[in-house]
Copies of this chain bind each other. A is one copy, B any other.
Amino acid sequence: MSLTTASRVFADHPSVRPATRDRVLAAADDLGYVVNALAQAMMGLGRRTVAFVAAHMIGSTFADMAAGAESVATAEGNLFLLSTTGEDPARERDLMETLREYRPAAVLLAGSTQTGEEFEQRAVAYAEALAAVGARLVLVGHPACPGSKSILSVDYDQVGGVRRAVEHLVTGGHRRIAFLGLIPERTTPAERLRGYELGLQDAGLPVDPSLVIECANDSDGARVAALSLLSRPDRPTALVCLTDGVAVGVYRAARSLGLAIPGDVAIVGFDDAPIVADLTPALTTIRVPFWEVGVHGARVALGLEEYDGHVQLPTELIVRESSP
């Protein structure tokens, strides 16, 4: 009944006589003993840990990604750590250090960031710091970093999604199509705007800067912005919205102006959030496989999946009643 023997019992080693085995198990049960996984982990043994870091945990998009990642991590008996930065780079940096101290298998960094090299450099620094403790960094729901091929990422086709939406609106006869919800210098709005521009370009239509509207990414910010946009004499006949939440704000604005959807103005959202199919009229939107993004992120993180640096999942235009 030595420590070694006990250890062997819990590790299911074959070389331990059933009798002693039972004796150990009985004693353990008696004392309420469970192995100290921290001691195991300290030696690089035992379960692995996957961390998920996002700016916020609000809305179904991040929650779905996190849930997808969690399902993969937990399914294999690993641990899943969740933390938010509140959009604060300093907190993000601190968090990254803290996580490094826990020797995770991987850190998934989720969501939109500032565009440009500053973030990319930060990400490279994170990736290197994590690599120094044997951990991987995987960007999820974030476009690939073209500069640094070493940064793994799992993304979804935002550009293509909006591009198809614009194509759909053009096919429906629309020529004055606005984009609502721009947030400057952020990757997700930038990608979706790019899809809008490419969609117009495909149709040989010019990009009219007065139809690209900046507003907060919430229903009320969108409502206010839409109110002014839709009050213009030359108002657009169709609106592509950054998110479904923005689209909801547009619904409210249209209603208060007495405009019919899609008769007076067609609306397209993005994300396919729950319930938007039950709005009146049902919202046309772009469905994003957020759960799967999380799943693939975790799989890449744990080395369960082939990856060539970047995975991009398809999005799907869901045509409902709010567009022709």
List A211-233 residues whose CB lies under 8 Å from chain B.
219
Nearest-neighbour CB distance to chain B for A36, whole angstroms, equals 6
Asked whether any CB of chain B lies closer than 8 Å to the CB of A257, the reply is: no
CB distance from A92 to the nearest CB of B (A): 12
Contacts of A97 in B (CB 8 A): 34
**Known contacts A38-B42, A60-B60; A251 and B278 CB within 8 A of each other:** yes
Q: Which residues of B contact A278 (CB under 8 A)?
A: 219, 248, 251-252, 279
State whether the Cβ of A101 lies closer than 8 Å to any Cβ in chain B.
Answer: yes
* A183 sits at the interface (CB 8 A): no
| Supplied contacts A32-B129, A32-B132, A80-B82, 11 more A-B pairs, CB within 8 Å | A34-B97, A34-B133, A37-B98, A37-B103, A38-B42, A57-B67, A60-B63, A80-B81, A81-B82, A244-B275, A280-B280
A40 to chain B, nearest CB (A): 8
Establish whether residues B38 and A57, one from each chain, have CB atoms under 8 Å apart when the complex forms.
no
Tell me which of A71-79, A105-113, A166-174, A297-305 binds B: A71-79
- A25-68 interface (Cβ within 8 A of B): 32, 34-39, 41-42, 47, 56-60, 63, 66-67
Closest 4 CB pairs of A and B: A57-B67, A37-B101, A280-B280, A63-B63
* Cβ of A274 under 8 Å from chain B: yes
Number of A residues with CB within 8 Å of any CB on chain B: 51
Interface status of A267 (Cβ within 8 A of chain B): no
Supposing A36-B42, A82-B66 touch, asked if A77 and B103 sit within 8 A by C-beta, the answer is no
Q: Which residues of B contact A37 (CB under 8 A)?
A: 98, 101-103
A-B contact list, 16 entries, CB within 8 Å: A32-B132, A34-B97, A34-B100, A36-B101, A38-B102, A56-B67, A57-B66, A57-B71, A60-B63, A60-B274, A63-B67, A74-B84, A82-B82, A244-B275, A248-B278, A273-B274
Residue A276 lies at the interface, judged by CB distance under 8 Å to chain B: yes
Instruction: Give the residues from 83 to 97 in chain A that come closer than 8 angstroms, CB to CB, to chain B.
Output: 83-84, 95, 97
Decide if A84 touches B70 in the complex (CB within 8 Å): yes
Closest B residue by C-beta to A82: B82
Cβ 8 A contact of A275, one of B66, B71, B74, B274: B274
Residues on B with C-beta less than 8 A from A275 are: 244, 248, 273-276, 279
- Complex: A71 Cα to B85 Cα, angstroms: 9
Instruction: Write out the residue numbers on chain B whose beta carbons fall within 8 Å of the beta carbon of A274.
Output: 59-60, 273-275
- Residue of A79, A95, A248 with most chain B CB atoms under a 10 A cut-off: A79
Most B CB contacts (10 A, CB to CB) among A79, A82, A251 go to A82
